Amino acid sequence: MLTAADVMTRAVITVRPETSIHEIAKLLCDHHISGVPVIDDEERLLGIVSEGDLIGHAQLAGEQRRSWWQTFLNGPTVLAQHYAKSHGRTASDVMTDEVVAVLETTSVADTARTLEQHRIKRVPVLRNGRLVGIVTRSNLLQVLATTDVSKPMNVADRIIRERLNDELEGQPWAYLLSKNIVIENGVVHLFGIVQSDEERHALRLAAENQAGVKAVEDHLSVVPPVSYVF
C-alpha cells in the first residue's frame, strides 16, 4: 500500500520553542496552514502549536476570575496549566506536547485512521525520531481522488515525485508547504495554492519537464499573498 512518505508534504514550516506566539500567528496566516510543529536543534519533534492553541490563549487571556466551583473541580494542576497558556509568550508555553505522529513507513490507511481516531487535521511524519514531513487531511483526500491507495506507488511514479520535489525545493517561488504532488501512472496531479498565474505556469513546466511524465493535471487555486497593516 501507499505509505505516509508517498503522500506527505516534505517542506514543513517549523518553529523553535522560543518562537513568539505573534510570529507563529503570522506564519499560520502567511502560509494558509492551521498548525506548526515545534522542533529542537536536531529536528526532534517537541510539540505542535495549532490555531486552537492560539485561540485558546486569546480566550484565556481575556478570562475573568474563575468561580469557586470551577477552581474546586479543575484542581491546582489544571489551573496552573491554564495560567501558563494564558500568560505564555512562546511556542513552548502554548504548544501541545503530547503529539500523535506516524512513521514514514506507515500505510496511508493507518495514517488516515490515526487522523480520524485522534480527531486531528494533520500528523507529523518521523524518521528515527526526526521530523521529515507532514500529512494533512487534504493530502489524503487528494490521493484518494486520484490514486488506488490499496496498491503501492510504482517505482517510476516514486522517482518522478522525488525528482520533482527536489527540483522545486530549490526554487524560492515554489512555496511547497501549500502544495501537494500526487502521481498516478505518469500523470502528475498538482494540488494546493499558488500566489499568481506565473507561479502556476512555472509549476506546470517543472512537472512537464520531468522524464517519464505523461501529462499534468492542474488542480491549483490562486490565492494572492496576505498584506498586513500595523
Contacts of 91 (CB under 8 A, 6+ apart): 15, 16, 17, 18, 19, 20, 21, 24, 36, 38, 47, 49
Measured between its terminal Cα atoms, the distance across the chain in Å is: 49
19: cell is 518562537
What mean pLDDT comes out for the span 26-46?
A: 89
Contact 165, 12 (CB under 8 A): no
User: What totals of helices (H) and strands (E) does the chain contain, helices first?
Assistant: 9, 8
Summarised one tens digit per residue, pLDDT across range 138-152 is 888 888 888 877 777
Summarised one tens digit per residue, pLDDT across range 85-127 is 556 688 988 888 889 999 999 999 899 999 999 988 889 999 9
Whole-angstrom distance, CA of residue 49 vs CA of residue 4: 21
Contacts of 148 (CB under 8 A, 6+ apart): 184
User: Nearest Cα to 184, choosing from 210, 211, 149, 138?
Assistant: 149
pLDDT score for 81: 56
Give Cα 100 distance to the centre of its chain: 13
Which DSSP category does 150 fall into?
T
What is the pTM assigned to this prediction? 0.69
Summarised one tens digit per residue, pLDDT across range 162-210 is 999 999 988 988 888 778 899 999 999 999 888 899 999 999 999 999 9
Task: Give the long-range contacts of residues 57-65, CB within 8 A, separation 24 or more.
Answer: 57/21, 57/85, 57/86, 57/88, 57/94, 60/85, 60/86, 61/86, 61/87
pLDDT score for 31: 79
pLDDT score for 176: 82
Residue 225 reports pLDDT greater than 60: yes
What amino acid is encoded at 172 in this protein?
Answer: P
Q: What is the mean pLDDT of the chain?
A: 83
Helices (H), the chain: 4-7, 21-31, 51-61, 68-87, 91-94, 108-118, 137-146, 155-169, 197-208
